[in-house]
Amino acid sequence: MAGYHRALYEAVAVGRSVHQDLPRIKDDMEALGKKHILVGILGEADSEIQMIAQVHEYGCTITVSPKMRAYLHYTGLHLKQTTGTLNIPERSFIRASFESKQPEIRAIINAAVFKMFACEISADEAAERIGAQLAQLVQNFIRGGEVKPPISQYTKEHRTSTTDTPLFDTGTHIVDHITYAIEEV
């Protein structure tokens, strides 16, 4: 709320009446409150990128088929005959980035709301700024190597690039698909 008080003070300082600004501020806050900002891999629920993102975000257990066993053997991963499943560990990039970056998220939201209070941007523009910056925050979380656990030795050996950062150099380039959308509620 410190930004709110600062905006009101600046409104008086430039000659606008606080009384005149209160209805606009109320309207802007109500408009912003009716927006949901979605951040992540957006699109069709059954798309390949959605499926891969979900596997990484939550982890997955895959049943090893004879065809998969043969392919992995051919590429250098020799499974025991008793291995019936492969476990892909959870590598949360959305939940983990939002949990670990709370101060940055608050600062992003506060800055946009302050600009809205100061009549510099509309509620729509505030939501767009917040969405764009939060999508960038998730991308930076991945690019910064903050996704855990690290990739396996087998994955390192079969990558086309030299980076060891999880989710950065997958065939689908998850980091490049992180975006945002604004929904009216």
Task: State the pLDDT at residue 155.
Answer: 77
Q: What is the pLDDT of residue 18?
A: 56
Residue 174: predicted pLDDT: 85
Of the candidates 99, 107, 102, 108, the one whose C-alpha atom is nearest the C-alpha of residue 128 is: 108
Beta-sheet pairing, 35-41 with 60-63: unpaired
Nearest-angstrom CA–CA distance, 69 and 79: 7
Q: Whole-angstrom Cα distance, residue 170 to residue 148?
A: 15
Helices (H), the chain: 2-13, 18-33, 48-58, 66-75, 95-100, 102-117, 123-143, 153-157, 174-177
61 burial level (CB within 10 Å; 0-12, 13-18, 19+): exposed
| Preceding amide of 149 cis, omega within 30 | yes
Distance of alpha carbon 161 from the chain centroid: 23
Q: Scanning the structure block, which residue is given the tokens 């939940």?
A: 95
pTM score of the predicted model = 0.81
Q: What integer pLDDT is reported at residue 67 of this predicted model?
A: 95
Q: Name the CA radius of gyration of the chain, rounded.
A: 23
Distance CA 11, CA 17 (A): 7
Report the 10 Å Cβ neighbour count for 49.
17
The pLDDT tens digits for 121-164 are 999 999 999 999 999 999 999 988 898 988 778 777 776 666 77
Which residues fall within 8 angstroms of residue 61, CB to CB, at 6 or more apart?
Answer: 85, 86, 87, 88
What per-residue confidence (pLDDT) applies to 181? 96
Which residue ranges in the chain fall short of pLDDT 50?
1, 15
